[in-house]
A and B are shown apart, each in its own frame.
Chain A
């Protein structure tokens, strides 16, 4: 018998052969590729010699012919977050375009566009720290869910049908909103004006419900996608608050101490989330109490919280709030289809963020929080600030040592 326990395994061979899509990057400018598993090479239509030593974003440019192709740019932002926060970053499933190898560039393909092939990936990126806690590598684990995105035809048709119905329902609702607005200008009697205002606000509520239904249909058929772009969060929140004139005097915005935070978000979708949370806060909170909207930095994310005072939510119902068609038992008599929080969770998770609720304290404070990833520019600014602070601290420490010496 040989002493097999003493054999040093060839970790390079083991890593290359691992049955998963793994990529190792250096946390320096452009994120040069250090290693890639064979499975990743196969899935990404590349060869090892084309990757190793080259910048990730140079090897994988987004498809210039496809405006929705922001997968690798978003991955860059996710890696910036790992670099800055030294914590893992998870990207929700999104579309990536892979450049076909030259020998296959003329090949016709339904999925290919302009020499690119479409893939649906989710990417988990984790920091690798050395014994002194310095960031040494970033490991990316890629899940390829392209096959599961190709949903069965009836499911796809159902989503298409729901989108069509949503569009057609919005037409008469729009006519209602605009007609009520015109009528409001013409009516002089105060009581009649209030009646017209009720017609208008009910039509707007109906419009939001239709939007929520359309999102639920997309969630169920796994067709929900978002178009994240850099968005100045506090400025955006102020604009959304202005669109709730009936409760404007109850809102108070607490901006972050770090100044404006730029996030990667689809503004229309995040407005839908925020409007759902604000509508809930208005409907369920004690009348005339303040509704605080707090924005703060949380690692490499911006965290937005809607804080109000209302009936206690039992702890076991806090998670269930975000489930499909779940309603709080005590509040079932109140209007609403109960879709809002389910829709909010779907939209926030599609951004790579998280949403949750807390309730407690002597004044029965309810807090709804969600997070959105910071954009690469904000991450870079925060990294630079942190480095400057560290350098200043080191200088002060050195000055202190030389004084004591």
Chain B
């Protein structure tokens, strides 16, 4: 039996965090939750290896984008899905600047949007755990 891929999910809205976590679990992954930007950093530094990061942008103290920029600068190449309800057109460019394996997902999204974003993020990075997207 294949090992489930590990996905780290960060959102400061607990209902959104829980729903997104359930959706990713439904798609066959093991989920680790982070309820803030600070928790996202803690999980990244001490939570082991992840196959994918799914993060919101607007979180207090440090945004999801700031965390990922810092992680990229430190050499972390894990694929990332950046989810947001913001309409700012600049966000797409900021996500593009995260280099390969970064996908923007606008809220609200449904399961099929989430699944294709996961497929895109993982295929861009070249690290595709097939169990995750083989639903």
> Which residues of B lie under 8 Å from residue A203 when comparing CB positions?
108
Report yes or no: B111 in contact with A171, Cβ–Cβ below 8 A. Answer: no
Q: Which residue of B lies closest to A171 (CB)?
A: B13
B19 within 8 A of A: yes
B110 and A170 contacting across the interface, CB-CB below 8 Å: no
* B39 at interface, CB cutoff 8 A: no
Pick the contact of A177: B13, B93, B108 (CB < 8 A).
B108
Chain A residue total in the interface (Cβ 8 A) = 29
B49 within 8 A of A: no
Say whether A167 contacts B58, CB under 8 Å: yes
Known contacts A170-B107, A177-B108: A214-B87 contact under CB 8 Å: yes
Q: Quick check: which of A51-59, A85-93, A178-186, A330-338 contacts chain B, the rest being far away?
A: A178-186
Q: Of B20-28, B40-48, B71-79, B119-127, which binds chain A?
A: B20-28
State in angstroms the CA–CA spacing of A399 and B20 once bound together. 71
* Distance between A201 CB and nearest chain B CB, rounded to angstroms: 11
Min Cβ gap B25→A in Å is 10
Give the interface SS of chain A, mostly helix, strand, loop or mixed. Answer: helix
A175 touches B13 (CB 8 A): yes
B interface footprint on A268-298 (CB within 8 Å = 1, 0 otherwise): 1000000000000000000000000000000
Nearest CB in chain B to that of A173: its residue: B108
Structural contact, B89 and A178, CB atoms closer than 8 A: no
A175 lies within 8 A of B109 (CB): no
Which B residues, 82 to 135, have Cβ-Cβ distances below 8 Å to chain A?
Answer: 85-87, 89-90, 93, 106-111, 114
Residue in chain A with minimal CB distance to B12 = A171
Show 5 A/B contacts (Cβ-Cβ < 8 Å), sorted by A: A174-B107, A175-B15, A182-B19, A266-B89, A268-B89
Residues of B within 8 A of A (CB): 13, 15-16, 19-20, 22-23, 26, 58, 85-87, 89-90, 93, 106-111, 114
Other than A167-B86, A172-B13, A182-B26, give 8 A-B pairs with Cβ distance below 8 A: A166-B85, A170-B108, A171-B15, A172-B15, A173-B108, A174-B16, A177-B109, A225-B89
A interface residues, Cβ below 8 angstroms from B? 67-68, 163, 166-167, 170-179, 181-182, 185, 200, 203-204, 207, 211, 214, 225-227, 266, 268
